[in-house]
Amino acid sequence: MTKERTTRKEIEEKFKELRKELKTLKQEMKKKEDELLRAVADVQNLRKRLEVEHERGRRAGRMEVVIKLAETIEHLFEALKMAEERSSDDSFSNGFRMIREEMEKRLEQAGIKLLNPVGDSFDHNYHHAVSVVETEDMEEGTVVSVLRKGIMFEDTVIKPCLVTVSKKKNIKSNNGGGKGHE
């Protein structure tokens, strides 16, 4: 009987050891699982960062091309506009208009927009005022004319518009205090 008890006691001891070992293994497994989840999250974050950086690089490259071509684009549109206006043949005039419209459409698809703000409120972020004219019929601070169209790439102004801005005309009143009143 003693042998039976000893065996039972040994079994209980062994069972306790195994239970302790199982608990330790479960803790280690949980720790490794956490490390794995962190590693997966790090890889996902790295991938997202790389995608953002890649897109920034691509955008910077496209913007560099737009900056280099900005003046050429401007001259091309001016030439098309002048050819359209000066052509005595309606078919040539229509042809130049169609080319200009197609160019504008293609540039816009590439994220390039020509700014022509006549009638808009002056905005120093997009416009550079080169002169001011007094008007009676326009609200003060309205773009009256565009001397040079602006060029924008996506959300960045490459070249601001050169504009003339309106100013309210001073109307002198003759209410008894000024000269010329008798």
Nearest to 152 by CA among 73, 86, 98, 93: 73
146-172 as b/e, with b when 16 or more CB fall inside 10 Å? beebbbbbeeebbbbbbbbbbeeeeee
pLDDT, residue 104, reads 84
- State the average pLDDT over residues 107-136: 91
Q: Is the pLDDT of residue 178 over 50?
A: no
pLDDT, residue 35, reads 95
Of 23-32, 92-101, 133-142, minimum mean pLDDT range: 92-101
Indicate the CATH number of 113-170 among 3.30.450.20, 3.30.110.30, 2.30.22.10, 2.60.120.10. Answer: 2.30.22.10
Tokens of 108: 């816009």
Asked if 142 contacts 119 with a C-beta cutoff of 8 angstroms, the reply is yes
Name the β-bridge partners of 151.
114, 159
- Report domain extents, the chain: 1-79, 113-170
| pLDDT higher at 80 or 26 | 26
pLDDT band for 171, please (50, 70, 90 cuts).
low
Q: Tokens 């913007």 appear where?
A: 63
pLDDT, residue 180, reads 45
Most confident of 12-16, 19-23, 147-151: 19-23
Sheet holding 112-115, edge to edge: 112-115, 150-153, 156-159
pLDDT band for 98, please (50, 70, 90 cuts).
confident
pLDDT, residue 47, reads 96
**HEC string for the chain:** CHHHHHHHHHHHHHHHHHHHHHHHHHHHHHHHHHHHHHHHHHHHHHHHHHHHHHHHHHHHHHHHHHHHHHHHHHHHHHHHHHHHHHCCCHHHHHHHHHHHHHHHHHHHHCCEEEECCCCCECCCCCEEEEEEEEECCCCCCEEEEEEECEEEECCEEEECEEEEEEEECCCCCCCCCCCCCC
pLDDT, residue 181, reads 45
**Predicted TM-score of the model (pTM):** 0.59
- State the average pLDDT over residues 120-138: 92
Residue type present at position 161: C
pLDDT, residue 53, reads 95
Most confident of 36-45, 60-69, 106-115: 36-45
Q: Is the pLDDT of residue 70 over 90?
A: no
